[in-house]
Amino acid sequence: MILEGKKILVTGVLTPGSIAFAIAEAAQREGAEIVLTSFGRVMSLTEKSARRMKPSPEILEMDVNQQEQIDAVAETLRERWGRLDGFVHAIAYAPADALGGNFLSAPWESVETAFRTSSYSLKAMAQSLAPLMREHGGSIVTLDFDNSTQAWPVYDWMGVCKAALESVTRYLARDLGRYQIRVNALAAGPLETMAAKGIPGFEKFRDTWSDRSPLGWDTQDRAPVARMACVLLSDYATATTGEIVHVDGGYHAMGAEMGHEPKD
């Protein structure tokens, strides 16, 4: 078990169909002790999902847009564990008027909300939680959708925020490397999640992704992403930081549709 004895915090667990849920379950199977976070109206969803895990993890209240709540979680973990080996940042949100073809018309207030929640929050969490990893090192993993070099249909300001998230990942890797804290982004292909349903036109990604992926792509299978997250959290990746690790069937590396032929 590659996470045996690790203490891991996982954010973003909503339904059992969420990527964060798959990561949390996989981390448990690999020997990690985990704690989840949630807040407000979605807390009941997280609680219901947590009951399906074995063992059922504790849930701490944390709104990433409230620094005092992040600090409170850090203090709770300090008292309980005395350390942290890593955390998973699986948080993103953009108001509806910043998505779905509204790039030019989106107001600053919506863009600001999207950026703070989806990008700045990674820095906010690292600021409070990194001190729990300084003595022994650790790993921070965030969930990305690769937007460094291209624009996507309907993704609009969330695409800009994901590009910013990748940059935040690199700058955190720069500043935290002295403590042997690694920071990496996991760029997954499109998966059928509650978050995906909130993106108008998500089917544009879902229905065509396999056409360009040499390995193919199953939008229902979260296991490949969860397993890679566990690798990045583990001591198998001690020299990897500042990376955008793709788990997308190879889509990102292809210049056009594959024109798949039958297997021999």
> What pLDDT does 212 receive?
87
Residues 204-208 have a mean pLDDT of 69
Strands 58-61 and 86-89: unpaired
Is the model's pLDDT at 198 over the cut of 70? no
Strands 58-61 and 33-38: parallel
Is the model's pLDDT at 71 over the cut of 70? yes
Peptide bond into 55 cis (omega under 30): yes
Is the model's pLDDT at 110 over the cut of 70? yes
Is the model's pLDDT at 209 over the cut of 90? no
Banded model confidence at residue 190, pLDDT cuts 50, 70, 90: confident
Tell which residue, 171, 88, 85, 76, has the closest CA to residue 134: 85
Residue reference for tokens 């788990």: 247
First-to-final CA distance of the chain: 36
Q: For residue 188, list its beta bridge partners.
A: 247
Q: What does the pLDDT look like over 8-49, one tens digit per residue?
A: 999 999 999 999 999 999 999 999 999 999 999 999 999 999
Residues 251-255 have a mean pLDDT of 87
Banded model confidence at residue 195, pLDDT cuts 50, 70, 90: low
Provide the whole-model pTM: 0.93
Q: Average per-residue pLDDT in the chain?
A: 92
Q: Which of 7, 48, 123, 162 is catalytic?
A: 162
155 labelled catalytic: yes
- Residue 81: half-sphere exposure toward Cβ, Cα within 13 Å: 23
- Cα angle: 32, vertex 2, 12; to 5 degrees: 45
Ordered by where they begin, the domains of the chain are 7-253 (3.40.50.720)
Q: Which of 48, 120, 123, 155 is catalytic?
A: 155
Q: What does the pLDDT look like over 115-168, one tens digit per residue?
A: 999 999 999 999 999 999 999 999 999 999 887 888 888 889 999 999 999 999
Of 40-49, 60-69, 151-160, 196-205, the least confident: 196-205
> What pLDDT does 147 receive?
77
